[in-house]
Amino acid sequence: MPLNRPALTLGAGPRSVQDARRWVVSTLREIGRDDLVESAELAISEIVTNALLHGTPPIVVRVRGTREHPRIEVADQSTEAPTLPQPPTGDELEDLLTVGRGLSIVARASEAWGAEIEDDGKTVWCTPAAEFADDEGPTGLITGLLGGAPTGEVPVDPMRFRLLAVPVRDYTSFHNHFRELRREVRLLAMAHESDYPLASTLAEVFNQLGRPLTLATMREEVRRAQESDLPTVDLQVEMGREEARGVARFIELLDLTDAFAREEKMLSLARDPRQVAFQSWFLGEFVRQAEGLQPTPWRAPADREADAPVERRSSVS
């Protein structure tokens, strides 16, 4: 059963570690996972301490994943990746002072752990283990925007795409859904690939297609429209022609993730009809225009002929 518990936002004081520990323990006991409490207490204490010392507020704690595989996440607005634990040197004082030493406790208390770096912050996560490891535990996995924000590379065979009358609310919903879904499949693939083999395939496609679909230029234009209380905005996006044609595969991917979500194999919920309608239009415009067709503006589902069920465009199938 997927978990979707409300998040806990922490203050900047030393009580935050205690608050996070109590909250995570309470959540695990509520879902009947008392066997994970001891390891979770150790892990969350170290992750939150690291966030307080090296992160940027606000610091938010979540328990996500599923009851079978709960995952603890601590998010902050720093894009600096955590320093992974280094092998012990044999010098007790040096080992004690080494940066990242606290994360070695996270490693030993986890089945898998790591950090997901986004352009507006990072999430350090772990799946607590039933027993504290005698060895060094699993190696931390750092994913996402390694080395900082995208570099703005010029695409091969660039085209200028026009997206007309983009509804601000729907684009924001798509962007948030995309990021949540991308992170979810990445973490499932890394932590529980044997239980969720489809997650690895989904994560690979997200990595290939994620950059052109979440360009900072689009987000900035939408942000300005929000500040001006505009319901819609026209966007111009530069993308490679073949890159745009490849978006058709992403549309198929979203259908697969909906099916995956309905089976309660992941936290993210299946899309509602309006999300399907908007995303089919928005993504389909890249495919259509890459084939030389003229842009068509967005029309809300209620404006479609006789409120007919939403159909996939033939050009993206």
Write down the mean pLDDT value for the chain: 80
Predicted confidence (pLDDT) at residue 156 exceeds the cutoff of 90: no
Q: Which residues contact 107 (CB under 8 A, 6 or more apart)?
A: 85, 113, 133, 136, 137, 138, 139, 140
How large is the average pLDDT for residues 235-254?
84
Which has the closest alpha carbon to 103: 125, 118, 120? 125
**Does pTM surpass 0.85?**
no
Residue 82 has pLDDT above 90, yes or no: no
- pLDDT of 98 reads 42
Q: Read off the pLDDT of each residue in 6-32 and give the average, rounded to a whole number.
A: 91
- 117's CB contacts (< 8 A; 6+ apart) are 79, 81, 142, 143, 144, 145, 146
> In the chain, what percentage of residues exceed pLDDT 90?
37
pLDDT at 246: 81
Query: Which residue's structure tokens are 């599923």?
Result: 66
Residue 95 has pLDDT above 60, yes or no: no
User: Residues 6 or more apart from 147 whose CB is under 8 A from it?
Assistant: none
Q: What is the pLDDT of residue 176?
A: 81
Q: State the pLDDT at residue 127.
A: 92
What are the φ/ψ torsions at residue 264 (nearest 5 degrees)?
Answer: 60, 40
How high is the pLDDT of residue 173? Answer: 87
Backbone angles phi, psi at 39, to 5 degrees: -65, -40
Two tokens at 293? 């067709």
Cβ-based neighbours of 106, under 8 Å, separated by 6 or more: 42, 43, 46, 47, 113, 126, 140
In the chain, the DSSP E strands lie at 8-10, 59-65, 70-76, 110-118, 121-128, 141-144, 158-167, 232-240
Residue 193 pLDDT? 63
The residue with greater pLDDT, 204 or 98, is: 204
